[in-house]
Amino acid sequence: MKIATFNINGVKARIEALTAWLDDARPDVALLQEIKSLDEGFPREIFEDRGFFVETHGQKGFNGVAILSKLPLEDVERGLPGDDSDEQARWIEATVVGKIAVRLVGLYLPNGNPAPGPKFDYKLAWMDRMKARVAHMLTLEMPLVFGGDYNVIPDAIDAAKPEAWVDDALFRPESRAAFRSIVNMGLTEAIRTRDPRPGIYTFWDYQAGAWQKNNGIRIDHMLLSPQAADVLIDAGIDKAVRDGDKPSDHVPVWIELDA
DNA sequence: ATGGTGGTCATACCA
């Protein structure tokens, strides 16, 4: 089972780039972030025509997550628990059953800039809530896949110019510590585990020729429960997508599970 | 220190 995560930066603006990638990469599951669409405005037929089941958790203008899956999506849950006043659409869960059942989470972690400030506080509080949700899900003792845009650069080797990010919410010590504490509950960071070398990026800013200079950062991650890590076959990044027509500023990250 | 690009929605906000 091939499971990918892709921050598409607007589903309407990315129809062509997204469908071209789906047809080429052929994931069984695609976790999408920043759909920037209400549920009723999501062009679900385009994906259903390609054989995908579609579940969305959108909001107007910003944020929004979705799951596309060739297998039926069961027990869908929307929203990260822990704050009833939080109206931002950043979390969706569903189960797919292939050879074995896999619980999927698609997540769009808050950016948090400027830091310090209320947006940074929201980011750190959101990460606390995520940690609690992960702890609960780990008690299921089943394959769990947490894929998404984490807006966290885990280490200096995950940025082409780490010195440029020292005061940024994506690289502040608090953000990295919170990410580390989630991983250290017993999750496997798929890309880092498969290839620990520096220089693997998933995001290149639209500005200042970041892509042409390979001035990238690695902020899109796949975290696996022990039961998912046991069946991890491969993991990678579809870097070439960044060179396509009207690309997102992120590229897809994928894993292959024996599941 | 500033502005550089892009998406959404229609004016600023977000990244």
Selecting among A28, A108, A168, A201, the annotated active-site residue is A108
User: What pLDDT does A63 receive?
Assistant: 97
| Positions in chain B where some atom is under 7 Å from a protein CB | 3-9, 14-15
Under DSSP, the state recorded for A208 is: T
Confidence of residue A107 (pLDDT cuts 50, 70, 90): very high
Closest residue (CA) to C1' of nucleotide B14 is A62
User: What pLDDT does A45 receive?
Assistant: 97
Distance separating alpha carbons of residues A59 and A65, to the nearest angstrom: 9
User: What pLDDT does A67 receive?
Assistant: 98
Output the CA torsion A134→A138→A144→A150 (10° steps): 20
Q: What is the mean pLDDT of chain A?
A: 98
User: What pLDDT does A136 receive?
Assistant: 98
Selecting among A23, A84, A149, A206, the annotated active-site residue is A149
Confidence of residue A220 (pLDDT cuts 50, 70, 90): very high
User: What pLDDT does A60 receive?
Assistant: 96
The predicted-structure confidence for A171-201, as pLDDT tens digits, reads as follows 999 999 999 999 999 999 999 999 999 999 9
User: What pLDDT does A239 receive?
Assistant: 98
User: What pLDDT does A34 receive?
Assistant: 98
User: Separation of CA A92 and C1' B8 in angstroms?
Assistant: 22
User: What pLDDT does A76 receive?
Assistant: 98
Is the C-beta of residue A113 closer than 7 Å to nucleic acid chain B? yes
- Of A67, A37, A71, the C-alpha closest to A51 is A71
Known catalytic residue at A149:
yes
Q: Is A144 buried (19+), middle (13-18) or exposed (0-12) by CB count in 10 A?
A: buried
Distance separating alpha carbons of residues A226 and A37, to the nearest angstrom: 34
User: Which residues have a Cβ under 8 Å from the Cβ of A55 and sit 6 or more positions away?
Assistant: A66, A67, A69, A73, A76, A92, A94
Q: Are A77 and A55 in contact (CB under 8 A)?
A: no
Is the C-beta of residue A12 closer than 7 Å to nucleic acid chain B? yes
pTM of the model as a whole = 0.98
User: What pLDDT does A200 receive?
Assistant: 98
Under DSSP, the state recorded for A199 is: -
Is the C-beta of residue A122 closer than 7 Å to nucleic acid chain B? no
CATH code of domain A2-257: 3.60.10.10
Is the C-beta of residue A88 closer than 7 Å to nucleic acid chain B? no
User: What pLDDT does A28 receive?
Assistant: 98
User: What pLDDT does A100 receive?
Assistant: 98
Overall average pLDDT of the A101-123 stretch: 97
**Cα distances (angstroms) measured from residue A161 to each of A122, A150, A170, A218:** 26, 19, 13, 12
